[in-house]
Structure 1
């Protein structure tokens, strides 16, 4: 099967990192295709950037020329999954929901450790919308911007591990979710620090997508995610020049 893994920002190195994590999680016979949107922000850390990313991700997927069996939206707490589900007849998996769903198989409560504090409300809202907030002990910020994760890996691991440990000790979390696509690859180091299971959203999303495809299941088209009705769109896509 072929799975598209779409980064929500335009930083190619983050796409590469996400792609490597996805490939490492994929089963034999699964082809991972990492994609970077052609427009949008270099990192997504607020509502404006997130809504723009939603459009960019949808247009990137619509433009992909080859057949595919599933799509992963690789942004934590971002908008747009619902639009993709309307557009596509294949499973769409968001890494936020994949991580939280997986965590609930592993413990009574889970916490998310993310980047900046301003992203915390977006993640809380996404978990609430998805019906996954009841067992969320906390969403904690590491204080690192998304691009900081690449620039100082040692400091990033320490900041994330510190907040994860506090989530276990103070918030009584039994599982930790890494709340940023750029945190892929940090699970072992955070698990060593905390002593609890650590879920990476990209890995969880790949396994979830493979399972849905293997079961022959996809999004219901009866009501909420029915395909968009045919209609005229004014000046869309926008023209330049």
Structure 2
């Protein structure tokens, strides 16, 4: 089985970290391929960057030349999953949906700890769209940008864990979800400090993708994600 794990930003270092985390949890026989978009922002932390990332991810996947069995979109709260589901025949799993749905198995209410406060509304919208908002106790910002998370892991853990502890104490959270692909690999350290289960979206999404492939299931092609109608696309700038 081959799974494409697609970073939503153009940082190769973030892609490598995400792919390493995905590989660590993948089953024997599953090949993880980390993919970085050819264009886009170096970190995705707002609406313009998120919409651009949706195009970059779609472009990167459609340009990938070898066979694959599933795609993981490794951006928390970002746009683009629906376009992939419409364009592809294989299962598509977004880390937002995978992490939040996994958290529902582990406790009554969960909280998300993300990067910057400006990303909170995007995550709120994605959880509502995915039908996952009802049991979300809160979405808290660590105050660190995506690239800062990678540059100083110890500072990242302290900031994320601090918000996780507050979510448990003040918001009624019983599970913490890491709300950024750049937080891949930090779950154990945050769990040790918060004292509750911590879900990392990257391994959660890989596990879901593997299960869908093994079950022989993929996106329904009736109505919502039916193939696009043939038509001319004018002015597409990316080849």
The Cα shift of 1:237 comes to 3.6
The Cα offsets for residues 154-187 of structure 1, whole Å up to 9 and x where unpaired, read as: 1111000000000000001000000000101111
Aligned residue number for residue 23 of structure 1: 23
Aligned residue number for residue 223 of structure 1: 223
**3-state SS of paired residue (1:140):** strand
- Please tell me the root mean square deviation across aligned C-alpha atoms, in Å: 0.7
Aligned residue number for residue 50 of structure 2: 50
Correspondence list, 1:99-118, <5 A: 99-118=99-118
| Distance in 2 (alpha carbons) for counterparts of 1:57 and 1:238 | 12
The Cα shift of 1:235 comes to 1.4
Correspondence list, 1:136-155, <5 A: 136-155=136-155
Aligned residue number for residue 234 of structure 2: 234
Correspondence list, 1:185-200, <5 A: 185-200=185-200
Under a length normalisation based on structure 1, what TM-score does the superposition of the two structures give?
0.98
- Any gaps of 5 or more consecutive residues in structure 2? none
Aligned residue number for residue 60 of structure 1: 60
Correspondence list, 1:125-144, <5 A: 125-144=125-144
1:3 equivalent in alignment to 2:3: yes
The Cα shift of 1:238 comes to 4.5
Q: How many residues align?
A: 239
| Distance in 2 (alpha carbons) for counterparts of 1:155 and 1:218 | 39
| Distance in 1 (alpha carbons) for counterparts of 2:214 and 2:118 | 37
**3-state SS of paired residue (1:120):** helix
**3-state SS of paired residue (1:137):** strand
The Cα offsets for residues 40-67 of structure 1, whole Å up to 9 and x where unpaired, read as: 0000000000000000000100000011
Under a length normalisation based on structure 2, what TM-score does the superposition of the two structures give?
0.99
Aligned residue number for residue 86 of structure 1: 86
**3-state SS of paired residue (1:177):** strand
